[in-house]
Amino acid sequence: MQNSPRLERIVEECYKLAFDLDFSYARRWKGEDSSRVLVGYMPVYFPREIVHAAGGLAVGILGAGDKKQVIKGDAYYQSYICRLPRGVIELLLDGNFEAFDGFIFPSICDVIRNLSGMFKILGGGKFIKYLDLPQNFVPEIGGRFYEKELWSILKLIQGINGMEPSPEKLKESINLYNRNRRLIEDIYDLRQEFPWRLSEEHLYYVLRAGLVIPVEKHNRILEEVYSCLQEDIGEMMDNIRVIVIGAFCEQPPVGLIKTIEMSGCYIVDDDFLAGLRWIDGDIESNTENPLQAIADGYISRSRLSSTVYSLKSWKGERLVQLARKRNADGVIFCAPSFCDPSLLDQPMLQAACDEAGLRYISFQYSENTGQFKVIKEQVGAFSDSIKLWEGVPIC
């Protein structure tokens, strides 16, 4: 087995960035120029391009995970909702967001809506914006509505640093984020062929680091990772190939990702950090109206997530298509406990898997789950049943 010391170094750096609850890198970045602003955004997706063009850094906030004991945050919420908002409140009360100038709360579920209200009561940053994502996907209706929402965010940033981004600046930012998404997809495509060259755990660190650093730095990291993956590294195992779906908001603990891998699975696609891959393809940058192009990207190129309301049942079709594209043996439905969007979509997605003859299992987690024995047994049995019995005729 051949190792790549260069890749190991990058993964280690990304791990430190990804789980730094003090957001040290972003704070240092802001400190280098008095016109820079930090804008925190909650899951799942936010068009970071607009903050970049306005001289800011959009920082993804995913909660405290299993890296911080949550005590005060628990007092703000009932027991029967997911855990993400408790960790976020704990971070707010402990001053971890002190350098942040504003916060964006995309309208993905009631929990995030309530969290924006908590921030208003407790006070955080210079603005708190509840971003009403369009539910109408006609460009002239939902698209124009969304464009106005994005304008209002630019105005809030302008109120802090006085910067109004020119169309050229917006186009430049669009190109950088287009490049970011393309690099990420290239890595997924390469892993599809050689999943043993980069474990899902390490890929997760590399991607998650991108939430807290400027896109220019993240693009350089992704380029280097892609270059390392050209080498014949790692060792092929007799694993099945799975897609993990449903974990797009509150993040699973890293131990859970490792457990799935150690139980005989290559994770060949996932929606852990769905916001980074939200737009399918490029946003148009050769345009007179870049803000409209960003809005149209959301309207016509969103990868379907459970947080997007859809009357049609094509989310199931998209999952089956993805499984076929990735040559997956099965699907693992992995949802945060009490997550309405994820759990409500599950029966529909499972029906699509049934129809397509795709095997699946499901379980729930919370960001601080610490016991993985049961999950290991379940995933291990799933992997073995596919390896040993797939294709064997039933007499």
Under the rule (CB under 6 A), what is the footprint of ligand SF4? 43, 82, 84, 108-109, 111-112, 249-250, 307, 336, 339-342
How many other C-beta atoms can be found within 10 angstroms of the C-beta atom of residue 31? Answer: 10
At its nearest, how many Å lie between ligand SF4 and the CB of residue 129? 17
Element (H, E) at 314: helix 314-325
What are the phi and psi torsion angles at 281 (to 5°)?
A: 95, -165
The nearer residue to ligand SF4, 64 or 213, going by C-beta atoms, is 64
The nearer residue to ligand SF4, 209 or 339, going by C-beta atoms, is 339
The nearer residue to ligand SF4, 117 or 167, going by C-beta atoms, is 117
| Helix axis angle, 290-301 to 144-161, nearest 10° | 130
Contacting residues for 337 by C-beta, under 8 A, at least 6 apart: 82, 83, 364, 365, 366
Of 299, 364, 342, which is closest to residue 47 (Cα–Cα)? 299
The nearer residue to ligand SF4, 112 or 293, going by C-beta atoms, is 112
Residue count of the chain, please give it. 395
The distance from CA 321 to its chain's CA centroid, rounded to whole angstroms, is 20
At its nearest, how many Å lie between ligand SF4 and the CB of residue 42? 8
In the block, residue with structure tokens 């009360």: 93
At its nearest, how many Å lie between ligand SF4 and the CB of residue 73? 13
At its nearest, how many Å lie between ligand SF4 and the CB of residue 345? 11
The C-alpha atoms of residue 354 and residue 67 are separated, in whole angstroms, by: 37
The nearer residue to ligand SF4, 108 or 243, going by C-beta atoms, is 108
The nearer residue to ligand SF4, 157 or 244, going by C-beta atoms, is 244
At its nearest, how many Å lie between ligand SF4 and the CB of residue 125? 19
The distance from CA 144 to its chain's CA centroid, rounded to whole angstroms, is 25
The nearer residue to ligand SF4, 111 or 233, going by C-beta atoms, is 111
Query: Measured at the alpha carbon of residue 9, what is the angle toward residues 7 and 13, in degrees to the nearest 5?
Result: 115
At its nearest, how many Å lie between ligand SF4 and the CB of residue 84? 5
At its nearest, how many Å lie between ligand SF4 and the CB of residue 35? 32
Sheet with strand 37-41: strands edge to edge = 56-60, 37-41, 102-106, 127-131
